[in-house]
Structure 1
């Protein structure tokens, strides 16, 4: 029996829907491929409690990591208001309270469901090292206060402790080499490790201590100066040493201390400069030893004479250049150090605006500079009077008075560490690299990521763009055929 037109159209539409639906199914099953969705993000917080101030840093990295080490980036840098936590000896609770502003900014950045899995650590550096030597109970009370505040947050608090100088220097070395792409870099679609010869050294100038870290050309003969890391599948052996009392704040105190008189005419300050300060502020640190006959309730008056040669001589008296106590070479104070080699990055949070613009013979940085301008390097017989410098650079008083002493101190310290006129070109003065602050905190977080389990990225099935477009077309065709068949069946009246 012959089919009617209605039955023919209905069967054709039904066949089209069936064929189109089978095509969609084949496209889904045959052409689908597995893809990796972006990994979840991990967060971590490190607080750098330095001698003069505290900084809070939030870091983030993909949860899947690269050869067991996170690809860490800086998400937030917050400067805590007030002095360093070692200053709160008379009111330790305020050391903890001072952190709440930056802590609130960090919590606002980190999603609520990730806070309990966010490791948080406070490392106190040379200021607290000195306080621990002077009064361990006061140092303990301050650490307890900051621990209470951080422990009461919704974060995964890992502790607050006084960081060893060696760890501070070694982590700073990790930081600078990471941000410069010397530990790992992205090339041709994958992460690779550059050649070891690309590594740079780090010299960190703090307020109370100075740290030098680098990979020497030969073996490290003193194990107490050696730090080892395994980062991105590669092992590193780094020489590192921290010189307590050789930070810039302590150096300035030591320069002024020791005189039995209450009026000091000092060559490291410009002619015409004068200030009065309490003697007790100079001698409160274990770095400075007070003479028995000094009355620390009195004030000291300092007048500048602006004599660069005498200033360098005074600074050199802070160093001991006697021989090494152990095997091999040494820098100063009898400390073992292999010869410096390669490029070095020098950083400081204490004097961000007064880096020397030149190094070498006749270096006399007695004229400050404004942003974007070169500092004038004056000859030994040309130091400007204080009144002229002060008037020329308003708003820089916080650093300006110590500019000459600090600049010449950096020069003498570099010479004491083994640098010379032939190696000045290998030294870079930077506070940031690649938009990231140079210091120990990022290196600490990189090393910490090796202790946090990695998470494999989630898998999903997906098609190429062309297959996806074809699938959509056939899905639409299938639906149209089904709707058409239904319409024929319900609305087409049979003759």
Structure 2
């Protein structure tokens, strides 16, 4: 009787443990299965309305990681045909119409059922800043047409705005460090940790009309106008950032030409040391002095035709470019150029946009020492027009003409302007993308406006954490062992009963 009771109790315990084991097993399997299931994605659209061109970036991220716990991926980048929207000052409707092909492309990528929930932004930079300075009414008309066009599409359009220079620099810094995961990282246990602030990298951006520098200095930032305080993932960063209007590549080369014209002994002739020897073209004074960045002579004749002749002299070219800057700093003050305060550069930097493209053309973005970079630019700038045309037969004529000036300008900006030297030069990485995402201000801009980077650290990750998964697995194993032991005892008792009979 007692043996029969023990066997019944053993079977009952085994059944209970079996049920619990199955429950734990289902919990583990369900959690793993749920984690493996593809999550529904959300999309975001950002127009980068630069001074020379406009581009539409289409971003995507998993909905269960919207609060900054997942990396946003770039689905597509669509280049808008034509110049930047600031060039449509006299044809505002044309600015809006130019965006349609890229918007049509985006509508084919974003699922129809999600389009009305897709946040869409347009951010304009230095080109529109200059137009607003010249004629605020025309700038408003361009924005009105751009907004009207985007409003015709079934997206959640949240407005068009002109970024300040410091915003452009800050958003570029956020983009790079977000993609590099130097702001926050998830450990194997599922907990969020902050890498040291020193792990963040600086951002160097060169557009058509402005250039930006942003980094975390090792000292206190003395000038509050160059300080941006960002709170990201529960940590505050006080970064140095400044934007130099008119020192983007296009406007700088325009200032260079005007400077050469004003220093020429003949008002109709311009000897250009940064153009290859043998190159020649005609320009009008109207073309030369059509920007607020270029100071025109007192009595310019708009229709006057100027003959520009390339001389291919790298020494004179470098000197002419340096004259565009004022490198002197006041007493007891560190600065970049034009008297703007800047602490000494520190740490690693990522250089992108025009800085990348101007040096990549000469294959100088592979981490070469400064001596090699100087030598390559020097050799190219001393080449004749016939020679460079033979070496680069498929390159656009204007791009080829400006290659020496662009690379020399980038070098001058980084060395004399931002005060890099032979040692710190090796801390600069020239990139177009990080983690298959184009580097620029657009991603940081969208992350900020959608609040996808929380000001406080996320407390957990979605799905079963590794520690809990391990605990559940161990518990399941213990239950299975107990069940096996109980069954073994029951079988032994049963065998003993047969033997006694």
Q: Note whether the superposition's TM-score is higher than 0.5.
A: yes
Say if 1:324 and 1:335, in contact at 8 Å, map to a contact too.
no
Instruction: Answer yes or no: is the 8 Å Cα contact 2:58–2:75 preserved in 1.
Output: yes
Report the Cα offset of residue 185 of structure 1.
3.9
Partner Cα distance (1:355, 1:107) in 2:
37
SS in 2 for 1:275: strand
The residue matched to 1:64 in structure 2 has which SS? helix
Which residue is 2:9 aligned to? none
1:391 aligned partner: 390
Is the 2:229–2:238 contact (alpha carbons within 8 Å) kept by the matching residues of 1?
Answer: yes
Question: Could you list the per-position Cα deviations for residues 155-200 of structure 1 after superposition, in whole angstroms to 9, with x for gaps in the alignment?
Answer: 1111001111111111111111222232234552645432222211
**1:86 CA drift (Å):** 0.8
After superposition, residues 324-339 of structure 1 pair within 5 angstroms as 324=330, 328-339=333-344
* Structure 2 contact 447–453 (Cα < 8 Å) conserved: no
Q: Which residue of 1 aligns with 2:4?
A: none
Task: Give 1:210-221 correspondences, 5 Å limit.
Answer: 210-221=211-222
Q: For 2:280 and 2:374, locate their aligned partners in 1 and report how far apart those are by CA, in whole Å.
A: 20
- 8 Å CA contact 1:67, 1:233 repeated in 2: no
Residues 262 and 64 of structure 1: is their aligned pair in 2 closer, same or farther, counting only changes over 3 Å? same
Do the aligned partners of residues 113 and 421 (structure 1) sit closer, same or farther apart at CA in structure 2, a change above 3 Å counting? same
Residue 275 of structure 1 corresponds to which residue in structure 2? 281
Specify the alignment match of 1:199 in structure 2.
Answer: 200
Contact 2:203–2:214 (Cα < 8 Å) also in 1: yes
TM-score scaled to structure 1, two decimals? 0.79
Provide the residue aligned with 2:352 in structure 1: 347
Check the 8 A contact 1:40/1:457 in 2, yes or no. no
Structure 1: state its 5+ residue gaps: 1-21, 366-375, 468-495
Structure richer in helix, relative to its length: 2
Per-residue displacement from partner, 1:262-291 (whole Å, max 9, x unpaired)?
Answer: 210111112111111222122111000111
Alpha-carbon contact 1:48-1:123 (below 8 Å) kept: yes
Aligned equivalents of 1:340, 1:254: Cα separation in 2: 27
Aligned-pair CA distance for 1:49? 0.3
Using the TM superposition, name which of 130-139 and 71-80 deviates more.
71-80
Equivalent runs, 1:83-482 vs 2, <5 Å: 83-188=83-188, 190=190, 192-258=193-259, 259-260=261-262, 261-324=267-330, 328-349=333-354, 351=357, 353-354=360-361, 357=364, 358=368, 360=370, 364=374, 376-378=376-378, 383-396=382-395, 397-414=397-414, 415-450=416-451
3-state DSSP class of the match of 2:52? Answer: coil
Is the CA contact 1:364–1:404 (under 8 Å) kept in the aligned structure 2?
A: no
Q: CA RMSD in A?
A: 3.1
In 2 relative to 1, CA 195–389 (structure 1 residues): closer, same or farther, beyond 3 Å?
same
Deviation at 1:146, TM superposition (A): 0.6
Residue 56 of structure 2 corresponds to 56
C-alpha separation between the residues in 2 aligned to 1:148 and 1:456?
40
- CA distance in 1: counterparts of 2:22 and 2:129, whole angstroms: 65
**Other structure's SS at 1:42 match:** strand
Closer/same/farther in 2, CA of residues 408 and 42 from structure 1, 3 Å limit: same
Total equivalences in the alignment: 431
Per-residue CA shift, 1:387-424, capped at 9, x if unaligned? 11112211113421111111111111112211112211
| SS across alignment from 1:402 | helix
TM-score norm. by structure 2 comes to 0.78
For structure 2, the 5+ residue unaligned runs are 1-15, 465-471, 477-501
Change (3 A) 1:188 1:388: same
Structure 1 residue 456: deviation in Å? 9.7
Secondary structure at 1:269's aligned position in 2? coil
Give the 3 Å change call, closer, same or farther, for CA 155–95 of structure 1 in structure 2.
same
Kept in 2: contact 1:171–1:440 (CA 8 A) = yes
For 1:104-155, what per-residue CA distance to the aligned partner results, in whole angstroms no more than 9, with x for missing partners?
Answer: 1212222222222211110001111111111111111111111111122211
What's the secondary structure of 2:243's corresponding residue?
strand
Shift of 1:24: 11
CA distance in 1, matches of 2:394, 2:45: 33
User: What secondary structure sits across from 1:439 in the alignment?
Assistant: coil
